[in-house]
């Protein structure tokens, strides 16, 4: 596992734009080159001592000196690795910051049609909490937003209502 001190021997990191620049040459890269490759899933990876790491994990380690279990991109854009866009998370908090899937049947996160009504729910600590049945999806979305703020705080990805 790479350490903060090893990272600082090899790279300079700009916390404002999230880019790593090489300060030590390697076989296929020169001093001053921007490090990293874009992956198919939208992340940037960087090779350090023949091992590949996600750049957002390296950025967090570079600045904070440790690696949390997961790191959340506040803006959900996987290659935006400036330090103010990264925060430690666990699986639940990372899930809380997800958007409603594009192929979802409901336009709102945490809300689904149930007969002629709309059911609102939220998952907390692997348990589903029923938030109520509503005449319109907007009311369900508002109930979800309140519960998300309560349970997930700054990590809550809220519905636009």
At 27 the pLDDT is 85
Angle at 38 between CA 40 and CA 89, to 5 degrees: 85
At 137 the pLDDT is 95
- What residues form DSSP beta bridges with 144? none
At 33 the pLDDT is 96
61: three-class secondary structure by DSSP: helix
At 102 the pLDDT is 86
89: three-class secondary structure by DSSP: strand
Can you tell me the mean pLDDT for 90-105? Answer: 92
Going along the chain from its start, the domains and CATH numbers come out as 4-89 (3.90.75.20), 95-155 (3.30.730.10)
The span from the CA of 160 to the CA of 48, in Å, is 41
pLDDT digits over 51-92, tens only? 999 999 999 999 999 999 999 999 999 999 999 999 999 999
Q: Which residue, among 68, 71, 69, has the nearest Cα to 18 in the 3D structure?
A: 71
How many Cβ atoms sit within 10 Å of the Cβ of residue 58? 25
pTM above 0.85, yes or no: yes
pLDDT digits over 6-47, tens only? 999 999 999 999 999 999 988 888 999 999 999 999 999 999
pLDDT at 131 over 90: yes
Q: Identify the residue with better confidence: 22 or 100.
A: 22
């Amino acid at each position: 596992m790479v350490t903060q001190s090893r990272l600082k021997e090899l790279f300079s990191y700009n916390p404002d734009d999230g880019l790593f620049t090489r300060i030590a040459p390697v076989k296929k890269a020169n001093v001053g080159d921007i490090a990293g490759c874009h992956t198919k899933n939208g992340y940037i990876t960087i090779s350090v001592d023949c091992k590949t790491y996600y750049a957002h994990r390296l950025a967090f380690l570079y600045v904070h000196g440790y690696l949390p279990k997961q790191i959340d991109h506040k803006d959900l854009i996987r290659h935006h690795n400036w330090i103010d866009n990264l925060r430690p998370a666990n699986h639940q908090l990372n899930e809380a910051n997800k958007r409603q899937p594009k192929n979802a049947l409901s336009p709102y996160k945490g809300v689904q049609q149930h007969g002629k009504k709309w059911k609102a729910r939220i998952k907390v600590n692997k348990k589903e909490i029923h938030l109520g049945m509503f005449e319109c999806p907007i009311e369900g979305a508002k109930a979800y937003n309140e519960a998300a703020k309560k349970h997930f705080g700054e990590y809550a990805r809220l519905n636009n209502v």
